[in-house]
């Protein structure tokens, strides 16, 4: 998805059902996914109960996470293997733990770039 498509989707609004779908597919708990967004699970629950969409910023963040989890699963084969990699320090990320970068959209982009390097065997 291009950055423009992400912006357009975020602008239109993203429902909480995407949040739940990502939590289910990624193998992460709802609390973990909410934490990546800087939200509490109760806030997500309130959105759902009130049938409100996520804010534009949270929607963009969630869409970026969705892309990242899809790419990671494609490269590592399963969500579990990708989650295992996310939990360990990565040389290509200056020794940082990728999972800790997911709180930031820029961090998601860094992790995505690292996944592409892994995919193409570019360890320079």
**What would the pLDDT profile of 10-40 be if each residue is shown by its tens digit?**
999 888 999 999 999 998 999 999 999 999 9
Question: For residues 62-81, b (16+ Cβ closer than 10 Å) or e, as one string?
Answer: bbbbbebbbbbbeebeebee
- The answer to whether the CB of 36 falls within 8 A of the CB of 61 is yes
Q: Which residue has the tokens 């967004």?
A: 37
Rounded distance, CA 102 to CA 4, Å? Answer: 21
pLDDT digits over 56-83, tens only?
A: 999 999 999 999 999 999 999 999 999 9
Query: Could you give the percent of the chain with pLDDT greater than 90?
Result: 78
Rounded distance, CA 115 to CA 11, Å? Answer: 27
Rounded distance, CA 83 to CA 97, Å? Answer: 11
What residue ranges do the domains of the chain occupy?
3-119
Q: What Rg value do the Cα atoms of the chain yield, rounded? A: 14
Phi and psi at residue 77, to the nearest 5°: 95, -40
């Amino acid at each position: 998805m291009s950055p423009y498509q992400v912006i357009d989707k975020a602008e239109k609004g993203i429902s909480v059902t995407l949040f739940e779908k990502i939590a289910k597919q990624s193998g992460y708990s709802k609390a973990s996914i909410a934490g990546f967004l800087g939200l509490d699970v109760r806030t997500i629950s309130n959105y759902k109960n009130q049938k409100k969409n996520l804010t534009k910023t949270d929607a963009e963040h969630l869409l970026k996470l969705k892309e990242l989890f899809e790419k990671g699963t494609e490269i590592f084969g399963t969500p579990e293997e990708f989650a295992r990699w996310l939990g360990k320090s990565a040389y290509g990320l200056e020794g940082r733990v990728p999972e800790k970068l997911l709180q930031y959209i820029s961090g998601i982009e860094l992790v995505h770039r690292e996944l592409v390097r892994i995919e193409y065997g570019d360890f320079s």
